[in-house]
Amino acid sequence: MSQSRKKVLPVKLDDKQSERDTRELRIDKVGVRGLRFPIQVRDRARRYQNTVATIGMFVDLPKEFKGTHMSRFVEVLSAHGNVIHVENIPEILAELQTKLNSATSHLEIEFPYFMSKKSPVSRKESLMDYIARFDAAACGDETDFVLTVKVNVTTLCPCSKAISKYGAHNQRGEVTVALRFKRTVWIEEVIGMIEASASSELFALLKRQDEKAVTERAYENPVFVEDLVRNVALRLNAHPLVTWYKVEAENYESIHNHNAYACIEKVTRPPAGPEKK
């Protein structure tokens, strides 16, 4: 038989991850983080929108194993296509547990989320970007899911307005709302609750008449950082699907060299997992 026709035998490769570890230490979370992946997320107005997520995927590692199989995390994600929403996250978590022989699994997905907005007077349309995040964990068949939304707003200081002759200082604030719910709560709903709680919402595009309207709206509706978290919390208390929330607000002060911060966390109803369809 010629040299070119010889059968090539597969080379046996060492599997170091599956070797036994003798240090007797279980690892709570091991996996991949910072994975960039194109996804589609549910959009209430347009059904879906395309975006790019930064993803983390983790499982627990029993004390007897030296390492996990990192490639399997990406295999699981890729096998579920590029549509990610609340409904298919439990499937991803379950497959992570199965494929990596783990008792628990974790998934974190953070992405920019876009909404079309019209300016208040000229009605010019533009896209505003927000940050949304899914944090999900499974232990056996039990799943926990938290939706987080970050929104920038304008806040105007009530004290400054009360004591100043010529105006009041205002600043951009960032509000972060994390919540659990009984059935799906839309990202757009959370954004709307936050923006309605501030002195004014933000816009990507403002003409001169819009700038006047936004400035005057903020002046007529001053809020401390404490007012801001309370305003959001009242709206979340009234939402029939929200079971737990954490509201944080941070004002990037315009006349101080530090920021103002407030936080409210509350269980509003008996906990329940997201709706399964």
Read off the pLDDT of residues 120-136 as tens digits, 9 standing for 90 and up. 999 999 999 999 999 99
Average pLDDT on 78-99 reads: 83
Is residue 29 scored above 90 in pLDDT? yes
Is residue 24 scored above 60 in pLDDT? yes
By CB atoms closer than 10 A (0-12, 13-18, 19+), residue 238 is exposed
CB 179 within 8 A of CB 147: yes
Domain ranges of the chain: 27-267
When comparing pLDDT for 142 and 46, which is higher? Answer: 142
At residue 9 the predicted structure's pLDDT band, cuts being 50, 70 and 90, is: low
When comparing pLDDT for 49 and 276, which is higher? Answer: 49
Helical (H) or strand (E) element with 88: none
What whole-number percentage of the chain has pLDDT above 70? 88
Residue 234's φ and ψ, nearest 5 degrees, are -60, -40
Residue 127's φ and ψ, nearest 5 degrees, are -100, 130
pLDDT computed for residue 16 by the predictor: 59
Torsion angle of the four alpha carbons 162, 166, 169, 172, in this order, in degrees rounded to the nearest 10: 120
Mean pLDDT of all residues belonging to the chain: 89
pLDDT computed for residue 47 by the predictor: 82
Give the tens place of pLDDT for each residue, 172-188: 999 999 999 998 899 99
With a CB cutoff of 8 Å and minimum separation 6, the contacts of 206 are 119, 124, 214
User: Which among 61-65, 99-103, 229-233 has the top mean pLDDT?
Assistant: 229-233
Is residue 168 scored above 70 in pLDDT? yes
pLDDT computed for residue 13 by the predictor: 60
At residue 277 the predicted structure's pLDDT band, cuts being 50, 70 and 90, is: very low
Say whether domain 27-267 belongs to CATH 3.30.450.20. Answer: no
